[in-house]
Amino acid sequence: MDAMLADSFAYCQQLAKLSGRNFYFSFLTLPRPMFRDMCALYAFMRVTDDLGDDLSRSVAQRTAALRSWRGAIDAAITGEPSSHPVVSAMMDVQRRYQIPVEYLHAVIKGVESDIGPARFETFEHLSHYCYHVAGAVGLCCIHIWGFDDAVALDRAVDCGLAFQLTNILRDLREDAQNDRVYLPQEDLVRFGYSEEDLREGRINEQFRELMAFQVNRARSYYRQGGELHSLLKSPGRPILAAMMGIYGRLLRRIEGLQYDVFTNRITLSRTTKLSVTAMSLLRPGRRPTVP
C-alpha cells in the first residue's frame, strides 16, 4: 500500500472513531483489514451527510457541494487522483469488493433529498427514502462482509430500514423543529396526531398509539433483517449481530420509556455498546434477537 492510500485509510479510521458512535463499536468485531475497510465506507457516508447538513451554507450551496462530491467519486472510479482524504481509501474498497457504484450514488441522492423540508405521504414513500439513506448502506456493507445468496440483498435493505426507522423515532422532535417530518402523513391522520403536536412534544394517548404502531413496524423489519445473519459469510455475522443489538436496544428503550423521545435524547452508554459487541463475538453463530 502506498503512502497516500495508507494516509487515507488512517484518516478514515480516525473519523469513524471520533463520530461513528453506534457504528464504530460494531466495527470492532471485524478482522483488522475488514475493520479498516468499514471505516473507509463509514467516512464516505459521514462526509456525504456533513455536506448535506452544513447549515452554514444555503440549500443551493449544499446541493452543489453534493453534486461536486458525486463528480469527485465518479472521477476517482475512472482512475483520476483525488486530493480529498477519504476518496482514495473509499475507491480502493469499492474496487476490491466490487461494490456497485449505484449504491454510492443512492446514498448521495438520499442526502440531497434531505436538504430541504421533508414530508412523506405514505409509508411506501418513506421506504423509498430509507433505501437511499440506509438500505444502500446495508448493500455496501454486505459486499465487504461477504454473502452466499442473492436473498441477502433484500435482507440487507430490511436491516437498513429497521435501523433508519429507529433513528426516526428517536429524533422525532428535533427533526420536526427543523421542518422534517418523517412519519408518514397517512399515519398522523390515522392516529389523530398533528405536526404541531409533534413540534410541541405532546405525549397523549394518540401519540402513544402512533408510536406503538411505528415500533411494531420497525420490529417487523428487524425480524426480516435478522434472516441476513445466516446468509453472510462468517466474518460478517458478529458485526450484524452487534448492529442489530445496539439499534434493537435503542428501540426497546423508546418503548420502555413509554415513547417519551422528547424529554431527553435516547442513547446507550459506552458500556452497553461494548457489552453488546462482546456478546456478538462470544456467540458468533447465534442469530440476532428481535428487539
In this predicted structure, what is the pLDDT of residue 150? 96
Q: Report percent pLDDT > 70 for the chain.
A: 95
Determine contact, residues 104/140, Cβ cutoff 8 Å: yes
**C-alpha–C-alpha distance, residues 206 and 95, integer Å:** 49
In this predicted structure, what is the pLDDT of residue 20? 59
Residues 6+ positions from 176 with CB-CB distance below 8 Å? 195, 198, 199
**What secondary structure does DSSP assign to 106-163, as a single string?**
HHHHHHHHTSS-B--SSHHHHHHHHIIIIIHHHHHHHHHH-BSSTHHHHHHHHHHHHH
Q: Of 39-53, 159-173, 269-283, give the lowest mean pLDDT range.
A: 269-283
Q: How large is the average pLDDT for residues 149-161?
A: 97
Cα torsion through 206, 212, 213, 216, rounded to 10: 180
Residue type, 278: A
Determine contact, residues 241/210, Cβ cutoff 8 Å: no
Q: How large is the average pLDDT for residues 64-77?
A: 95
Which run of H or of E encompasses 92?
Answer: helix 87-97
Q: Report percent pLDDT > 90 for the chain.
A: 73
Task: For each of the domains in the chain, give its residue range(s) and CATH number, in order of start.
Answer: 1-115 (no CATH), 117-291 (1.10.600.10)
Q: What is the pLDDT of residues 72-94, one digit of tens each?
A: 999 999 989 888 999 999 999 99
* pLDDT at residue 187 is higher than 70: yes
Which three-class secondary structure string do you get for 203-231?
CCHHHHHHHHHHHHHHHHHHHHHHHHHHH
Please give the model's pTM, rounded to 2 decimal places. Answer: 0.90
* pLDDT at residue 290 is higher than 80: no
In this predicted structure, what is the pLDDT of residue 286? 66
Task: Give the SS3 label for residue 54.
Answer: coil
In this predicted structure, what is the pLDDT of residue 272? 83
In this predicted structure, what is the pLDDT of residue 287? 67
Which run of H or of E encompasses 167?
Answer: helix 151-170
Q: What is the pLDDT of residues 197-254, one digit of tens each?
A: 999 999 999 999 999 999 999 999 999 999 999 999 998 998 898 889 999 999 999 9
Q: What is the pLDDT of residues 273-288, one digit of tens each?
A: 778 777 776 665 566 6
* pLDDT at residue 22 is higher than 70: no
pLDDT band at 123 (very low <50, low <70, confident <90, very high): very high
In this predicted structure, what is the pLDDT of residue 25? 74
**C-alpha–C-alpha distance, residues 70 and 178, integer Å:** 25
Return the percent helix, strand and coil in the chain, to nearest 5. Answer: 75, 0, 25
State the average pLDDT for the chain: 92
